[in-house]
Structures are given as structure tokens and as C-alpha cells.
């Protein structure tokens, strides 16, 4: 049976909420990865790109395995069709989290910037994205600009805390 627009995963608010949660989780994870990589001496662009790609792919596959296992336990069958498409839709931001860092690493690879700068820029962009998501949530909750800026600052502070923890460990 074909899905109409009303039942497509992107039209369901709960599914979109889950997907956004994955996007924020992936962003925070990628901050930790790129900051960690920035502290590695003699790291090449291929190794950095491989680490970023492996992280995104690993998170995505782990999420799919966990989702499928949970589905099997609860429903006593393997997810397929609509359920599987929903799982893939919700988990897609885990793969997309690698795009920004990979583009910046590629820029370093062709000599537009140093790899260290590219990795720190990737972390900065991810923290900025967290700030934007916080601002959007503040606005959507009807708190106005002051509340949105506070929500954005709190989310950015979480990203900066991840940076601080990663840098303290190196």
C-alpha cells in the first residue's frame, strides 16, 4: 500500500521530534570528535576524514541496530516497510552530522586552511548550530527573543562544555 503525504515520516510531529533529537545528539557527538582530533599531533586529512566518517557511520548503524532490536522485542517481529522507513528517516541526521566537518577537512586537504583550523572551525560551527537550535526552541515556545537567546546560550554552553572536557583530557 502506498503511503500518502499524511503518513510519510516527515509529516508526523513525533517522528520529526525524534529526528531533531538525533540531530542535536549527533551535533554534540561531532563536537567531541573534531575537538579530540584537533589535539592529535601529525594527523593527516585522510585520517581525520576517516575518523569523522567512521563516527557518523558507527553512530548511525548502532542506532539502527538498537531501534531494530527494540522493535523486535516489543512487536515480536522485524521492522519493515513503514516502520523501517521511519527508523531510517529518524536516524538520518547521524550521517548528516559528518557533512560540515568533512567539507572543512576537504578545505584543509586542498590547502585553504590548516587541518587544525578546519577541525576547530567544525567544532565552532557545531556549537553555533546548537545555539541556533536553542534559539528556535525558545521562539517556538513563545518566550520571545530574550527567552530564545537564553535557550540558545544554554545549548551553546553545553557544546562549549563538551569542548572544555575534551581539551582538558588532552
Q: What's this model's pTM, rounded to 2 decimal places? A: 0.83
The pLDDT profile of the chain, 170 residues, written as one tens digit per residue, is 444 444 566 678 888 888 888 988 899 999 999 999 999 989 999 999 999 999 999 999 999 999 999 999 999 999 989 999 999 999 998 999 999 999 999 999 999 999 999 999 999 999 999 999 999 988 988 888 988 899 899 989 998 998 888 888 76
The per-residue pLDDT for 4 is 47
The per-residue pLDDT for 37 is 95
The per-residue pLDDT for 3 is 47
Q: 3 with 82: CB under 8 angstroms?
A: yes
- Enclosing H/E stretch for 45: helix 45-75
Specify the DSSP class assigned to residue 12: -
Tell me the C-alpha distance between 38 and 36, whole Å: 5
Q: What are the residue boundaries of the structural domains of the chain, listed by start?
A: 11-168
Q: Rounded to whole angstroms, what are the CA distances from 7 to 2, 13, 68, 127? A: 10, 11, 20, 33
Amino acid at each position: 500500500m502506498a503511503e500518502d503525504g499524511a503518513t510519510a515520516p516527515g509529516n508526523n510531529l513525533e517522528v520529526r521530534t525524534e529526528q531533531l533529537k538525533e540531530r542535536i545528539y549527533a551535533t554534540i557527538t561531532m563536537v567531541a570528535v573534531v575537538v579530540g582530533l584537533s589535539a592529535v599531533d601529525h594527523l593527516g586529512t585522510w585520517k581525520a576524514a576517516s575518523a569523522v566518517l567512521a563516527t557518523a557511520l558507527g553512530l548511525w548503524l548502532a542506532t539502527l541496530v538498537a531501534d531494530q532490536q527494540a522493535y523486535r522485542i516489543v512487536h515480536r517481529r522485524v521492522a519493515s516497510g513503514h516502520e523501517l522507513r521511519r527508523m531510517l528517516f529518524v536516524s538520518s541526521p547521524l550521517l548528516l552530522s559528518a557533512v560540515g566537518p568533512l567539507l572543512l577537512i576537504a578545505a584543509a586537504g586542498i590547502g585553504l586552511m590548516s587541518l587544525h583550523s578546519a577541525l576547530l572551525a567544525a567544532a565552532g560551527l557545531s556549537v553555533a548550530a546548537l545555539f541556533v537550535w536553542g534559539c528556535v526552541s525558545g521562539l517556538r515556545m513563545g518566550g520571545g527573543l530574550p527567552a530564545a537567546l537564553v535557550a540558545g546560550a544554554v545549548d551553546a554552553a553545553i557544546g562549549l562544555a563538551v569542548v572544555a572536557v575534551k581539551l582538558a583530557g588532552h
